[in-house]
């Protein structure tokens, strides 16, 4: 009688374990499907967006360099004009002295 009771208990434990194992197995399948969907989304949408951002960053970087070069050229022009202005101011002063104008 004890053996029969033990067998019944073992059968119940086995049945419960099987149900829980099946439920875990199903959840694992669902998780795998979700992971596959996420991988597809990463490969498709997100990778494209990252690539587009990188390309845009490259364009912005190139434009920034172009603007910096223009600023450098403008600074050289301003420096040249400053030197010429100083030279001309000095020449005007010299000519004024020669002509006797104060």
Tell me, yes or no, if the pTM score tops 0.85. Answer: no
> What confidence tier does 92 reach under pLDDT thresholds 50, 70, 90?
very high
Q: pLDDT digit string (tens) for 51-65?
A: 899 999 999 999 999
> What confidence tier does 15 reach under pLDDT thresholds 50, 70, 90?
very high
Angle at CA of residue 48, ends 61 and 65, nearest 5°: 5
Per-residue confidence (pLDDT) for residue 34, from 0 to 100: 94
**Rounded to an integer, what distance in angstroms lies between the CA atom of residue 46 and that of residue 55?**
14
Per-residue confidence (pLDDT) for residue 102, from 0 to 100: 61
Task: Report CA dihedral (80, 83, 86, 87) to the nearest 10 degrees.
Answer: -100
H-type alpha helices, the chain: 2-41, 47-99
**Rounded to an integer, what distance in angstroms lies between the CA atom of residue 63 and that of residue 20?**
61
Contacts of 63 (CB under 8 A, 6+ apart): none
């Amino acid at each position: 009688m004890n053996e029969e009771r033990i067998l019944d208990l073992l059968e119940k434990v086995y049945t419960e374990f099987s149900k829980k194992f099946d439920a875990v197995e199903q959840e694992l399948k669902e998780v795998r499907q979700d992971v596959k969907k996420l991988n597809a989304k990463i490969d498709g949408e997100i990778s494209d967006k990252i690539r587009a951002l990188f390309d845009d960053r490259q364009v912005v970087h190139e434009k920034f360099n172009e603007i910096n070069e223009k600023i450098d050229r403008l600074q050289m022009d301003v420096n040249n004009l400053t030197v010429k202005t100083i030279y001309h101011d000095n020449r005007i002063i010299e000519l004024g002295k020669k002509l006797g104008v104060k």
